[in-house]
Amino acid sequence: MPLLSRVATAVAITVAVLLSGAVAQAQDSQAPGNQAQGADEWQEPFRVFLADPDYVNALGEQIDLVEQQIAPECIQVLKNANRRELRVRVKPVFKAGTLWPIWGEWREQISIERCNEPVIHNVLVTARPDGAPQLTSLLPGNTRASVEMQIAASRPVVDIANARMGKECPSGQRDIVDTVVVGFLDGTEKEPIARQKWREYWLVRLCAKYLTVQVDFQPDGKGGFTHSTDLIE
């Protein structure tokens, strides 16, 4: 049974809370074919879609796939799935009479217990005009890094951890299994996001061994962010 299907009966209540928090930070983006919607027309069909059992089960299956890769020893004891947060990057667009959105992008954050330890999963959901949305697993944990920043930092993080091992670990056994925000740097927590600096610890699993890499993020002066890495001994 998919992980989230175990809590499907509680989803309808949770969705109302998730969506209320997502509306404020949702962004507009023109859908293909000029599928215009009123300011609030997307909210009700989106609420219905978020509670759809097929979608909920798809989220659970996605998490199961990730857990089989990064923590196979715990896959049989995953429990207490809980949808924590919903962040809408691009407002969803719906065609009349259809359940699935044809446009839009959002991130679901779901907490679980892995071998009795709390873990956060992040899933990027991208609507498609010709079928079910595409689900992409982002890094687990509470990282503040955007999708693009995660992609840019992941390879250097794994490389520095792999170098510390003193031997090459096969690609199928190299995974970032958790991320933790340590805190802001240089007193920038009250600055606008574009000026903030912060530190995170990323836990890397290499051939059944675990190493922690420190990742510092700072503005690059061009509207984005850069990062630096260091191994935590």
pLDDT digits (tens, 9 = 90+) for 117-168: 889 999 999 999 988 999 999 999 999 999 999 999 999 999 999 888 777 7
Task: Copy the structure tokens of residue 233.
Answer: 């001994």
The single-letter DSSP state of residue 105 is E
pTM of the model: 0.83
CA angle 62, 25, 45 (to 5 degrees): 60
C-alpha pair distances (Å), 47 with each of 22, 29, 35, 41: 11, 19, 19, 11
pLDDT digits (tens, 9 = 90+) for 11-66: 444 555 555 555 545 555 555 554 556 556 889 999 999 999 999 989 988 998 89
